[in-house]
Chains A and B, each alone.
Chain A
Amino acid sequence: GAGVSQSPSNKVTEKGKDVELRCDPISGHTALYWYRQSLGQGLEFLIYFQGNSAPDKSGLPSDRFSAERTGGSVSTLTIQRTQQEDSAVYLCATTPGTGNSGANVLTFGAGSRLTVL
């Protein structure tokens, strides 16, 4: 697509439920990132994909968090047994993933706002 598309834009769930957040990257962008932003805070890196593999998942806060990417395109971030502290905006960003530093610019989706009651 022309931009990074995320769904759902808003999700309200009850504590203990599982949620899935989806990211559809810009067509041809091989690198995909998930970030989390709590209210009034900076961006927290979660995981990075290059193609379908995740060479850096160091930011995932616990084993309740997982992500996958299929076909080098759509990515899903899954949070199991949600907790109230998981409430945040989850942002996806993509880049062409090339070594050309001038072109390696992050483009963000509008985010998925998660509220855990």
Chain B
Amino acid sequence: RKEVEQDPGPFNVPEGATVAFNCTYSNSASQSFFWYRQDCRKEPKLLMSVYSSGNEDGRFTAQLNRASQYISLLIRDSKLSDSATYLCVVNPRYNFNKFYFGSGTKLNVKP
């Protein structure tokens, strides 16, 4: 079983829609969680860290569910510029220098 799993998509949504992605992780000892965004032929860039209590940054909301071992990313009022691949990254408690990547969820926002 993979450490981190994501639905590869693509998610095709119209502008203005609300879209949500989930990411499941297998190791309950995971400590830190992140969402990265990767544009086509570019490097991944940090979108947001995910905190235990959940956190929001503008149109983006991240949630952590430790009991069910998943994190989620909610994007409200989607823009064309949100089209990208969203990577889930997990950092275990037992080794803070180890990072596990999901394979990414592709989002296409259409006009």
Interface positions of A (Cβ within 8 A of B): 31, 33, 41-43, 45, 48, 50, 56, 91, 95, 97-99, 101-102, 104-111
* Complex contact B32–A43 (CB within 8 A): no
A50 with B97, Cβ < 8 A, contacts A101-B31, A105-B49, A108-B45 known: yes
15 CB contacts below 8 A, A to B, read: A42-B101, A42-B103, A43-B87, A43-B101, A48-B97, A91-B43, A99-B96, A102-B32, A104-B91, A105-B34, A105-B49, A106-B34, A106-B36, A109-B43, A110-B43
CA distance A41 to B34 in the complex (A): 19
Chain A residues lying within 8 Å of B96, measured Cβ to Cβ, are: 98-99, 101, 104
A93 to chain B, nearest CB (A): 8
Q: How large is the interface on B (under 10, 10 to 19, 20 to 34, 35 or more residues)?
A: 20 to 34
Closest 4 CB pairs of A and B: A42-B103, A108-B43, A101-B32, A43-B101
For A48, give the chain B residue with the smallest CB separation.
Answer: B97
Residue B46 is within 8 A (CB to CB) of chain A in the complex: yes
A114 to chain B, nearest CB (A): 14
B68 to chain A, nearest CB (A): 21
For B43, give the chain A residue with the smallest CB separation.
Answer: A108
CA distance A45 to B91 in the complex (A): 14
* Complex contact B32–A104 (CB within 8 A): yes
Interface positions of B (Cβ within 8 A of A): 31-32, 34, 36, 42-46, 49, 87, 89, 91, 96-99, 101-104
CA distance A71 to B89 in the complex (A): 29
| Most chain B beta carbons < 10 A, residue from A95, A104, A111 | A104
Task: Kindly list 6 other residue pairs between chains A and B, CB separation below 8 angstroms, not including A91-B43, A101-B91, A111-B43.
Answer: A31-B97, A42-B87, A48-B97, A50-B97, A97-B97, A106-B34
Chain A residues lying within 8 Å of B97, measured Cβ to Cβ, are: 31, 48, 50, 95, 97, 104
Chain B residues lying within 8 Å of A95, measured Cβ to Cβ, are: 97
CA distance A43 to B4 in the complex (A): 12
Chain A residues lying within 8 Å of B36, measured Cβ to Cβ, are: 106
For A41, give the chain B residue with the smallest CB separation.
Answer: B103
CA distance A43 to B87 in the complex (A): 10
* Complex contact A105–B46 (CB within 8 A): yes
